[in-house]
Structure 1
């Protein structure tokens, strides 16, 4: 039995070495996960676009500002006071133009950017807009097209105050 002990130890070392050689290279080629960081410059551009075009456009009822930020084929989905909501960007912008703006009505208006996430040329923004008797939460999807951040989708819901 003593003759077998060195052979077993030798074989175990040999097997361990081979196992290490095979496992280490394989694990070094495993998918490398890259921590996604929001690009501060891109986030600043989106924040500015939201404030200068989207928030200002809905507050003033300025359809020209909204046309600057909404892609012509953008769609809007959601619910308002429990009623399903669907519009194209053109329908939405026309509706904003036909209503009395919060600015003209002198009603309270508070718009807040809750978060912005950017990955490459896409981004999402979570917004809260309180106007008239509504407390809207918006989830806006952006796409950078020809160097400009455009709204390509908007989902919204109204939450009781």
Structure 2
């Protein structure tokens, strides 16, 4: 993938992290594909949502920013399979939990969009 493609995905991830930190569904809708599949793979808390259901949950929560939580996130890996598919592994801490996200990206409307978000909670760092 070109450096431009890499930069586009990094910019998308910045908007993703900031949208989650602000609990801003308007911002998040710009990074997610309209046909998003949202999956929590944590044992005992498995969830399967579409975009609208997930955005309603985001709208119903107090944002980590408003709670005074610092942003703590990182891109661990970006991998391109072609100019039509990419994968991002990311980690973040918010709302008292550490998360590991596996995100699949595809082009939509001329831009990369997250079409699948599969995540789990990780044991808290001490």
With the length of structure 2 as denominator, give the TM-score of the two structures: 0.90
Higher strand share: 2
1:2-46 per-position Cα deviation (integer Å, ceiling 9, x unaligned)? xxxxxxxxxxxxxxxxxxxxxxxxxxxxxxxxxxxx432101101
Matched, 1:152 2:118: no
1:111-130 per-position Cα deviation (integer Å, ceiling 9, x unaligned)? 11001011212110000011
1:80/1:106 CA distance change after superposition, 3 Å:
farther
1:92-132 per-position Cα deviation (integer Å, ceiling 9, x unaligned)? 11111110000001124311100101121211000001112
Matched, 1:127 2:109: no
Please say if residues 141 and 153 of structure 1, whose CA atoms lie closer than 8 Å, have aligned partners that are also in contact. Answer: yes
- What is the deviation of 1:82? 3.6
**Gaps (5+ residues) in structure 2?**
none
Cα distance in 2, alignment partners of residues 68 and 144 from structure 1 = 12
Given candidates 15, 26, 29, the residue that maps to 1:64 is 26
RMSD, matched Cα? 1.4
Which entry has the higher C-alpha Rg, 1 or 2?
1
1:48-73 per-position Cα deviation (integer Å, ceiling 9, x unaligned)? 0110x211111011111011111111
In structure 2, what is the equivalent of residue 115 of structure 1? Answer: 77
Aligned residues: 123
Q: Which of structure 1's runs of 4+ aligned residues deviate more than 6 A?
A: none
The structure with higher relative contact order (CA 8 Å, sep 6+) is 2
With the length of structure 1 as denominator, give the TM-score of the two structures: 0.72
Higher helix share: 1
Please say if residues 33 and 108 of structure 2, whose CA atoms lie closer than 8 Å, have aligned partners that are also in contact. Answer: no
Cα distance in 1, alignment partners of residues 62 and 42 from structure 2 = 18
